[in-house]
Amino acid sequence: MNISLGIPRERTNDERRVALSPAGVKILTENGIRVTIEKHAGSASHFHDQEYAEAGAEVTDSLHELYSKSNVIVKVSPPQEHETPLLRPEQILISALHLGSIKPSLVKVLLDKKITAMGFEFIQTRDGDLPIVRTLSEIAGSLAIQTAAKYLETGYGGSGILLGGIAGVPPAHITILGAGTVGLFAAQDALGLGARVTVIDKEINRLRRFEAFFNRHIVTAIANEHYIAELARVSDVMIGALSPKQKFIKPIVSEEVVKSMRQGSVIIDVSIDQGTCFETSRHTTHTNPIFVKHGVTHYCVPNIPSAVAKTATFALTNTLLPFIMKLNAHDTINEILWNSHSLRKGTYVFKGYITQKNLAELTSLPYREIDMLLATG
């Protein structure tokens, strides 16, 4: 398939990342893929237009031109409403989807135009790993601890507790809900700073792996109402770190439990882009990242890795690049999906149908299994 790839500038509120770094673009152009990037697309990540031009990309200040000449669009966040008219029938779109804030109107456009849409959240290897989610979760986990330390400070309205404590003064107590990648990196950084860490999860095997990995330097508990309520009363920080694989229809921490937390304590809801982990959570932004409810500071920014846009762009490029290269290996989209388990799993809209059951349930739009669509040509 002759790939002409377009990288638009991100227009979502406070999204500072760009889908590919200049080094990633250079690899693509050296492999015969034409790349067009919108002017200033990398500026917020401190990548300059000249770097992209030197990597072989065409830099354009016309978004319409970029969409019209590209058969593959790669971006970080889902297209905004003013971008969807620019999508051309049967284009390939690769981006995050953000199930927690998905708009059925966007999905309807993708269906009507028979776009092949692939989501970062769904791209999966044969062993069940979600490589793009994992990479961004590593960043989010580490940033959750940095953020918690900041908002515990007195000047930010926090309880004035140093995360790691000092000699003679106990450290902060951090409870992490979810023993996935976010939880792993959050626990690692919290322990490194000297905090007391408790990790809770519904799956005992996940907790066993955590105990073994951290050589029993953390406390673990099964995620039931009793333990959650008990830990909320003694925690200085609670981090919602459920993975996309851990389906949760309603928040697992109720408002009553949040009310029982100490004044000046902090909630970091990393899960906000998939669905709220705390009943009191609501979307915030990097510009206005926090709000206080029941005396508890809430940080509920969906695109946490955007706070370190350059690191996040490098990380995204590293994981995304091999999948883009797969597009260049076959002549048609059907052949590409037949031959790539990861891209087939990652596709959520194909030939006018939703191919991810959970998305179809959320939007009440038509669903078909992708294997069946591929088999019928």
Which one, of 119, 248, 228, lies nearest residue 175 by Cα?
228
Non-local (6+) Cβ contacts of 372 within 8 A are none
Rounded Cα gap, residues 89 and 33, in angstroms? 20
Distance of CA 64 to the CA centre of its chain: 27
Cα–Cα distance measured from residue 158 to residue 160, given in angstroms and rounded to the nearest whole number: 5
98 is catalytic: yes
Q: Which residue in the list 98, 173, 236, 298 is annotated as catalytic?
A: 98
Run of H or E residues at 169 = none
49 is catalytic: no
**Strand 173-177 vs strand 196-201: parallel, antiparallel, or unpaired?**
parallel
Indicate the pairing of strand 296-299 with strand 290-293. Answer: antiparallel
Q: What separation in angstroms does the CA of 32 have from each of 35, 220, 259, 327, 350?
A: 9, 50, 58, 12, 26
Of 201, 236, 273, 298, the catalytic one is 273
**CB atoms inside a 10 Å sphere around CB 184:** 23
User: What is d(CA 75, CA 7) in angstroms, rounded to the nearest whole number?
Assistant: 6
CA angle 215, 220, 224 (to 5 degrees): 165
Tokens of 162: 């140093």
Indicate the DSSP class of residue 278. Answer: B
Q: How far apart are CA 217 and CA 198, in angstroms?
A: 9
DSSP state of 149: H
Question: Annotated catalytic sites, by residue?
Answer: 98, 273
